[in-house]
Homo-oligomer: A and B are copies of this chain.
Amino acid sequence: MKIGFIGLGTMGVPMALNLLRAGHKVRVWNRSQGPLETLVAQGAESAATPAEIGAVDVVFSILADDKATREVIVDGGVLAALKPGAIHVNMATVSVQLAREFTTQHEARGIGYLAAPVLGRADVAAAGKLNILAAGKAELFDRVQPLLDVLGQKTWRFGERPEQANAVKLAANFMIASAIEAMGEAAALAQGHDVPGADFLEMITSTIFAAPVYKGYGGIIASQKYEPPGFKLVLGLKDARLALEAAEGARVPMPFASVIKDNFLDGIAHGDGNLDWAALARVAGRRAGQV
């Protein structure tokens, strides 16, 4: 089976490496040169343009956003180079709207389209332990499942329409942002009564909220180390917007998501857009006059 892999960012590199290490032949493309060389050194073939990925059986892509995905897959000629019967597995966090467009566009060319965004950061990807949020036709997934099993510890299937996986991924990211916002407001409340936010956060993340998401972001908030960012606040804004768009399409009011989006904007307006998105907590503190 010939495999293509497009997008060698912090997630793409370990994922593509895992496919190589599992013995697959992988043809890769990336906009910048460095990651390409890393992969080639490990046995990958390199494509000079997206279109040169060519007529592989399965192409994975994990690109930054809707815009980058459209530019590379459509304008860059990946879709045109695929043959009927091929499968495109899009693992990026993109909009529900893009998933719909791509489903239609791919089907019109006889190409299968699957959405498979993931939960987990680079270290989890490296360990092949991602949770894969999947939607698309079952028969297509059955064909790529062995490859997904290389990338992740579990593939969660949510339905036959690819957009469903994107809705699920956006819902998951919304829950993380909600956890951050809740910690930010709670810490501001504690601080407002002269209890150091860090003390409150240490307690709460050691007791009833002793989960990785809370420990991780709670630690960042407690220490106020928002740099270097694990995930930038501006990207948090993007995901909040995508969640709200997906909600609007399904007529679902999401007041927490609305609060989060407004607070991300507040953060960006105050120059914190390139900090880690845990800096939502700075917005809560600033509004209380504590920052």
By a beta-carbon cutoff of 8 Å, the part of chain A in contact with chain B is 96, 119, 131, 133, 135, 156, 158-159, 161, 163-164, 167-168, 170-172, 174-176, 178-179, 181-183, 185-195, 199-200, 203-204, 207-214, 237, 241, 243, 246-259, 261-263, 265-266, 268-271, 284, 287-290
Q: A167-B192, A189-B250, A256-B259 are in contact. List 11 more A-B contacts (CB 8 A).
A: A131-B207, A167-B190, A172-B204, A175-B182, A178-B181, A208-B213, A237-B248, A247-B265, A253-B287, A255-B263, A258-B258
- Which one of B163, B175, B288 lies within 8 Å of A186 (CB-CB)? B175
Smallest Cβ-Cβ distance to A212: which chain B residue = B208
Contact A243 B189 (CB under 8 A): yes
Most chain B beta carbons < 10 A, residue from A241, A247, A253: A253
Contact A185 B251 (CB under 8 A): no
Contact A195 B159 (CB under 8 A): yes
Contact A188 B252 (CB under 8 A): yes
Smallest Cβ-Cβ distance to A165: which chain B residue = B195
Contact B288 A253 (CB under 8 A): yes
Q: Which residues of B contact A247 (CB under 8 A)?
A: 188-189, 192, 265
Contact A188 B266 (CB under 8 A): no
Contact B288 A172 (CB under 8 A): no
Smallest Cβ-Cβ distance to A265: which chain B residue = B253
Contact B182 A167 (CB under 8 A): no
CB distance from A96 to the nearest CB of B (A): 7
Q: Which residues of B contact A268 (CB under 8 A)?
A: 251
In Å, the complex CA distance between A165 and B61 comes to: 40
Q: Which residues of B contact A194 (CB under 8 A)?
A: 159, 161, 164
Q: Which residues of B contact A243 (CB under 8 A)?
A: 189
Contact B174 A185 (CB under 8 A): yes
Contact B246 A241 (CB under 8 A): no
Contact A182 B178 (CB under 8 A): yes
In Å, the complex CA distance between A254 and B281 comes to: 11
CB distance from A288 to the nearest CB of B (A): 4
Q: Which residues of B contact A203 (CB under 8 A)?
A: 131, 133, 156, 168
A179-B179, A199-B158, A287-B269 known; A255 and B250 CB under 8 Å? no
Smallest Cβ-Cβ distance to A245: which chain B residue = B241
In Å, the complex CA distance between A174 and B200 comes to: 13
- Which one of B156, B185, B191 lies within 8 Å of A254 (CB-CB)? B185
A172-B186, A253-B287 known; A261 and B258 CB under 8 Å? yes
CB distance from A126 to the nearest CB of B (A): 17
